[in-house]
Structure formats: C-alpha cells, structure tokens
Amino acid sequence: MNAAQNPTARALSRWEGEGGAPLPAALRDQFPGLVGGWHYLDSAATAQKPQAVIDAVTAALGRDYATVHRGVYARSAEMTLAFEAAREKVVGLIGGRAEDLVFTRGATEAINLVAYSYPEKGRVLLSTLEHHSNIVPWQLAGWQIDVCPLTADGRIDLDAAEAMLTPAHTIVSFAHVSNVLGSVLDVPRAVELAHRVGARLLLDGCQAVARLPVDVAALGCDFYAFSAHKLYGPTGIGALWGRAELLDAMPPWQGGGAMIDKVSFAGTTYAPPPQRFEAGTPAIVEAIGFGAAADYVRAIGLQAIHQHEAALVAELRDALRSRNDVTLFGPEESAGIVSFAMDGVHPHDLGTILDEEGVAIRAGHHCAQPLMEHLGVSATARASFGLYSDQADIAALLRGIERTRRIFG
C-alpha cells in the first residue's frame, strides 16, 4: 500500500504540529470502536484497534489463512513468511533482533517464562507499584521477594533500591511505566544498579511501548515484556525480548510441538530460541495483527504520541487540581495516565455515572493491590489516553465528574 492509499499516511501528511500539538483528528476516524462519540479513557487497560489492524487480522483469518512452519504447500509457506515478518516488525519497534523475540500469550506469560525458566533463581527485587502479573509469577516460581518503596510523588525509589540490592539478587523486575500512576522509571540508573550487583533487569513494558520511544539496546535492560492489545493490536499475544545469551541459557518451560530439535522416548533435544519457548501451534493471526499494530504506531511515531498524550495529561491534571474534592495520585509528568479519587464517592460509583454520560474510565485496584494499600485507598478512578484521545474526552469526563458531585452532594 503506497502513501496515497494509506489513511494513516494521508492523515499524517496533513499534520504540521510540533512540540506537543495534537495528533490529527482524522486518526480517530480510523478506529471503528470509537464511532458515535464514545469518550474512551481506558486505553491503559486495552487500546481500541485501528482499521489497519482489523483488516490485517481479517485477511490473515480469511483469504490468507494457513498454518505455519511445516507446511510444504505455497500458502503455508506464505503464511510462515508473514508470521516471521510480524516478528521482525514487533521487535523493530523496540530496537532488538528477531531471533531474540519470543511470542507469548501476553506480558503475563512473558514474565512467567522468565520466573520459571531463569536458571539461577535467588532473590528478586520488585517495587510497591507493580502490577500483579509482576508479583504473582515470582511467588509461584519460588523466588525470594524484596520490595522497593516509592518516592513521595509515586516513582520507584532508586536510592532505596541501591541500598537494598546485594549480590544475592538475581533479577530486578520493574514496570517501565506504572499502570496506575503513569510514573516513568529511570531505566539507565535501574540498569546500572542491577548490573552493579550482578543482577539482570526485566522491564514490564506494557504501558511504555504504546506511548514512549523504546530502544532496548540503548536502555541496556536484559529482558523486556509487553503485550499487543495495549499497543492497538489483538488480545492473546505478547512478547518477551531477551538478550541472546540469557535466552540460550534458559530451558523451555512448556513442551510440545515446534519447540523441539529431536524427540525420542529416551530423551528430547530442543530448538534454539525463540522457538524453544513457543510450544504448540502459535497465535498466527494474532501475531500478524501484532505486526500491523507495530507498523501503525511506527508510522505515527512514538514521540508524537508521547507529546500528544503528555499535553492531555497536563490539561486533565490541571482541571482536577482546581477542584477541592479530588485527590490526584502520581507524578505531574505521568505518561498517559491520570489516577484520582473523589471525596465521598467510590470510584465504582463514579465510573457508573460516567458511563451514563458516554465516558469510559477504569475504576478499581487496577491489579495493583499492594499499591492501593500504599496509597491508603481501596481503589482509584483512572483515566488513560491513547493516540485517538482529544480535549473533547476531557471535557466529557469533567462534565461527568460535576454531575457526580451534584448527585452525591
């Protein structure tokens, strides 16, 4: 598809905004899930899908469909090429090599893979703000867990981490961007602290890859986990990037087809990474949708998306700060996410009333119950932006908050 035929390229060709100017309104029209003026502010949970991704999935499930890797007929070979091309597209988004990217069922499975397969289990350092998927796998796999506290504005306290880390720590596993507070980790310093004691750094990149430029080589991390559905792609698929020498030293954690070299009842030898960790028939269609989503985001540019969302975050935080009945959580320069609480109103009640106004937010503990305990609340309301979000979404949210106040007095 050339630039004249590509709706994303056409919209961007008309965009002359710089320095945080809004992305083109025409991009919103490319998301069928937003028709009818729905104000969707729950992109941190899952992002809406552009037509380009929907078309890629439809073609892969329909006219192009076949299995991959072992078929000798032409369509299977073509689908295999498309599947592996998707791997190239996805890893290209984070600056890695295709042979170091494992397709998983999501970031949760990616973290489980490391927790179970990393050969030198010991102590793992997590933080208070981690998502449950970066807590529970380490517990189930039998790691000894230490917990790094947060700074007053809701960032991972790397000064505390420096004091806590010892040579007994094998892994440090932190969120690149908090799914509740939007706080962004100082990755270079986290890398330096982990490597100083011989530990490896795993980053939960779910909230980062859709709104920040990511380059794993420049960041210096050892593992990077993320999912497709928060990146405007399908559900049911994600990825683990790992350093080649680390993946090569890790045994498989699931067995079956596709991950073997030779099988006999006397014993089995295994394929090299990434196939070693991709047992069974893969999520073929979802991988192709994942690749299409990576293409879509790359065409727009992560820096442009980040600037767009940063401007919306600043506007919403300013508006909420002007109210005397709202408590804001997290740092001022949070990445695409604003969590807050209204005095005397449970977040679930607020979310219900906002839904009546055509506004969708997330209300609850956000799979981060230790963080809720730290904040002294049972739940928060969370508005999270995507590249399709605009000032009309903020205005609708504020109208809904005002109506909620009138109802609750």
Per residue in 42-82, pLDDT (tens digit) is 999 999 999 999 999 999 999 999 999 988 999 999 999 99
User: Is-contact 177 184, C-beta < 8 A?
Assistant: yes
Residue 26: band (very low, low, confident or very high) from pLDDT cuts 50, 70, 90: confident
User: Is-contact 297 289, C-beta < 8 A?
Assistant: no
User: Is-contact 39 396, C-beta < 8 A?
Assistant: yes
Determine the residue type at 128.
T
Q: Is the pLDDT of residue 25 over 90?
A: no
The domains of the chain are located at 61-298, 303-408
Per-residue pLDDT at 16: 39
Ramachandran class of 19: left when φ > 0, alpha when ψ lies in -120 to 50, beta otherwise: left
Percentage above 70 pLDDT, the chain? 95
Catalytic residue among 148, 206, 221, 367: 367
Task: Indicate the SS3 state at residue 396.
Answer: helix
Any idea which fold 303-408 has?
A: Aspartate Aminotransferase, domain 1 (3.90.1150)
Per residue in 250-295, pLDDT (tens digit) is 999 999 999 999 999 999 999 999 999 999 999 999 999 999 999 9
User: Is-contact 305 387, C-beta < 8 A?
Assistant: yes
For this structure, is 367 an active site residue?
Answer: yes
Per residue in 133-157, pLDDT (tens digit) is 999 999 999 999 999 999 999 999 9
CATH of span 61-298:
3.40.640.10
User: Is-contact 212 335, C-beta < 8 A?
Assistant: yes
Task: Indicate the SS3 state at residue 382.
Answer: strand
Per residue in 356-403, pLDDT (tens digit) is 999 999 999 999 999 999 999 999 999 999 999 999 999 999 999 999
The pair of structure tokens assigned to 209 is: 């890859």
